[in-house]
Amino acid sequence: DQQVKQNSPSLSVQEGRISILNCDYTNSMFDYFLWYKKYPAEGPTFLISISSIKDKNEDGRFTVFLNKSAKHLSLHIVPSQPGDSAVYFCAASRGSWGKLQFGAGTQVVVTP
Partner 1 sequence: ETGVTQSPTHLIKTRGQQVTLRCSSQSGHNTVSWYQQALGQGPQFIFQYYREEENGRGNFPPRFSGLQFPNYSSELNVNALELDDSALYLCASSLAVGGRAGTDTQYFGPGTRLTVL
| Alpha-carbon torsion angle 33, 4, 104, 14, nearest 10 | -60
Q: Residue 73 Cβ, how far from partner 1 at the closest point, in Å?
A: 15
Our CA angle for 31, 99, 87, nearest 5°, is: 90
Q: Does 91 bind partner 1 (CB under 8 A)?
A: yes
Q: Which stretch in 13-21, 63-71, 75-83, 88-96 sits in contact with partner 1 by CB under 8 A?
A: 88-96
Smaller CB distance to partner 1: residue 39 or 81?
Answer: 39
Smaller CB distance to partner 1: residue 74 or 79?
Answer: 74
* Other CB atoms within 10 Å distance of the CB of residue 66: 20
The Cα 14–Cα 35 span in angstroms is: 21
Q: Does 4 bind partner 1 (CB under 8 A)?
A: yes
Cα Rg of the chain (Å, integer): 13
Task: Give yes or no for a cis peptide into 44 (omega within 30° of 0).
Answer: no
Q: Residue 53 Cβ, how far from partner 1 at the closest point, in Å?
A: 15
Q: Does 66 bind partner 1 (CB under 8 A)?
A: no
Report the interface residues with partner 1, using CB under 8 A: 4, 6, 32, 34, 36, 41-46, 49, 89, 91, 93, 96-105
